[in-house]
């Protein structure tokens, strides 16, 4: 755990593996174990229970999950006809180095927009919205704050900022299909009296159509990894932030714990791409690009250095769900 703040330093929150990990600790026999009739009987019983094969249950569970996903894939809106944005060959290389990354990312999100939210909820087991809420908490929104949500996609984070009472929220994204969903969700949203409705507009986050120093908070959730030039985006975020403004970046990462990292790798590289592709009826390669783009993106330390280089200070990282997701917070000016 590194804590090295003060004037442009870097700091970590605790990256605690949490309760999940403890549940894997071997448990004792517990009360009520029958006394051994023969020497070694308890040991054999223990061995029998330890060697109980859970694989059939797991296979049934996985098959039901895939079957449910196939049914969901048949719902209206499925089956994208767009050509592949990312082929297996493209993904063998580092996708962040692709000269046409911006166009590929744009066509990928255009292809999967219709099922983007559903896939997020299913494949994060509903956690994605709590990660966004935590990000909003970290930004400590004031009733006078103007918020820019960059790469807003279908608008979940922009809506969370509006619900938290920001004075105004603007969401920008370069994929019109994602913005269309954001706008229709926003029109249907039920709001507490006194909360504002976000506005959504099409823009590239590397060339923001806003004057200098006009926002108090800039956020970007699961977007910076998808931007072709993240350094340029960070420079733009800094430019449009007022003095004492905050930048909040939410992004996927790798759990620090080795066992959880392997489990996460199995899920993200071998299970999620199959089920998410089925649900989206996708041919763009989006859900194979996703784990590859996370694995090849800069690590947490490098990303914090990028924020410091873009003139953010007091940069902190806040891992969530054992480090599967991380929120980075940086401040503009003193
Ligand atoms: C994974 S989605 C995240 C959407 C949303 N922030 C969320 O929390 O679900 C990434 C978004 O980044 C957008 N994007 C990528 N590069 C962009 C750029 N240069 N300018 C604007 N939007 C961009 C994509 O269109 C896509 O909607």
Q: What tokens appear for 182 in the block?
A: 């954001």
Contact of 94 with 131, CB cutoff 8 Å? no
Question: In this prediction, what percent of the chain has a pLDDT beyond 70?
Answer: 75
Strand order in the sheet with 241-252: 3-4, 10-12, 312-320, 325-332, 241-252, 215-221, 146-150, 168-173, 199-202
- Give pLDDT, residue 137: 97
Q: What tokens appear for 42 in the block?
A: 């308890």
Q: Whose CA is nearest to atom 25 of ligand 1?
A: 175
Place 270 in a pLDDT band, splitting at 50, 70 and 90: very high
Nearest ligand 1 atom to alpha carbon 205: 20
Question: In this prediction, what percent of the chain has a pLDDT beyond 90?
Answer: 70
| Residue 3, pLDDT above cutoff 50 | no
| Predicted confidence (pLDDT) per residue in 42-73, tens digit | 444 444 334 445 455 545 555 555 555 454 54
CB atoms within 10 A of CB 72: 18
Domain count for the chain, please give it. Answer: 1
Judge if the beta carbon of residue 178 lies within 6 A of ligand 1: yes
CATH number, domain at 75? Answer: 3.40.50.150
CB atoms within 10 A of CB 262: 11
- Give pLDDT, residue 333: 82
| Residue 248, pLDDT above cutoff 50 | yes
- Give pLDDT, residue 283: 86
| Predicted confidence (pLDDT) per residue in 167-180, tens digit | 999 999 999 999 99
| Predicted confidence (pLDDT) per residue in 189-219, tens digit | 999 998 999 999 999 999 999 999 999 999 9
Q: What tokens appear for 298 in the block?
A: 């800069």
Hey, which of 118, 158, 174, 231 would you mutate to test ligand 1's pocket, going by the most ligand atoms within 8 Å of its Cβ? Answer: 174
Tell me the three state secondary structure of residue 263: helix
Judge if the beta carbon of residue 222 lies within 6 A of ligand 1: yes
Question: Rounded to an integer, what distance in angstroms lies between the CA atom of residue 34 and that of residue 36?
Answer: 6
- Give pLDDT, residue 157: 98
60: Cβ–Cβ under 8 A, 6 or more apart, which residues?
none
CA of 120 to the centre of ligand 1 (A): 14
Backbone angles phi, psi at 195, to 5 degrees: -95, 150
Judge if the beta carbon of residue 152 lies within 6 A of ligand 1: yes
Hey, which of 151, 282, 325 would you mutate to test ligand 1's pocket, going by the most ligand atoms within 8 Å of its Cβ? Answer: 151
- Give pLDDT, residue 83: 66
Question: Rounded to an integer, what distance in angstroms lies between the CA atom of residue 227 and that of residue 239?
Answer: 17
Question: Rounded to an integer, what distance in angstroms lies between the CA atom of residue 285 and that of residue 90?
Answer: 10
CA of 173 to the centre of ligand 1 (A): 6
Judge if the beta carbon of residue 223 lies within 6 A of ligand 1: yes
Q: Whose CA is nearest to atom 1 of ligand 1?
A: 222
Q: Whose CA is nearest to atom 8 of ligand 1?
A: 221
Q: Which domain holds residue 200?
A: 2-332
Tell me the three state secondary structure of residue 238: helix
Q: pTM value?
A: 0.80
């Amino acid at each position: 755990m590194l804590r090295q703040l003060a004037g442009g330093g870097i700091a970590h929150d605790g990256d605690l593996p949490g309760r999940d990990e403890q549940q894997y600790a071997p448990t004792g026999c517990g009360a009520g174990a029958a006394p051994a009739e023969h020497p070694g009987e308890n040991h054999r019983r223990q061995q029998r229970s330890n060697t109980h094969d859970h694989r059939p249950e797991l296979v049934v569970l996985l098959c039901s999950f895939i079957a449910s996903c196939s049914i969901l894939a048949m719902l209206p809106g499925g089956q994208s006809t767009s050509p592949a944005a990312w082929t297996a060959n493209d993904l063998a290389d580092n996708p962040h180095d692709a000269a046409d990354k911006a166009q590929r990312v744009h066509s990928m999100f255009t292809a999967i927009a219709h099922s983007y939210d559903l896939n997020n909820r299913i494949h994060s087991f509903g956690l994605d919205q709590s990660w966004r809420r935590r990000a909003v908490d970290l930004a400590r929104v004031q009733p006078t704050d103007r918020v820019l949500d960059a790469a807003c996609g279908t608008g979940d984070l922009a809506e969370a900022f509006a619900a938290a009472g920001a004075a105004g929220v603007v969401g920008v994204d370069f994929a019109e299909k994602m913005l269309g969903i954001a706008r229709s969700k926003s029109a249907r949203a039920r709001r507490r009296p006194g909360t504002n409705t976000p506005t959504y507009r099409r823009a590239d986050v590397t060339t923001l159509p806003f004057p200098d120093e006009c926002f108090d908070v800039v956020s970007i959730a699961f977007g910076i990894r998808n931007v072709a030039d993240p350094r340029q985006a960070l420079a733009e975020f800094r430019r449009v932030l007022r003095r004492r403004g905050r930048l909040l970046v939410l992004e996927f990462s790798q759990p620090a714990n080795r066992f959880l990292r392997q489990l996460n790798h199995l899920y993200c590289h071998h299970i999620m791409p199959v089920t998410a592709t089925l649900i989206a009826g996708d041919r763009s390669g989006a859900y194979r690009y996703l784990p590859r783009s996370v694995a090849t993106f800069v690590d947490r330390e490098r990303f914090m250095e990028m924020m410091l280089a873009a003139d953010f200070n007091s940069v902190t990282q806040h891992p969530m769900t054992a480090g599967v997701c991380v929120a980075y917070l940086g401040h503009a000016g003193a």
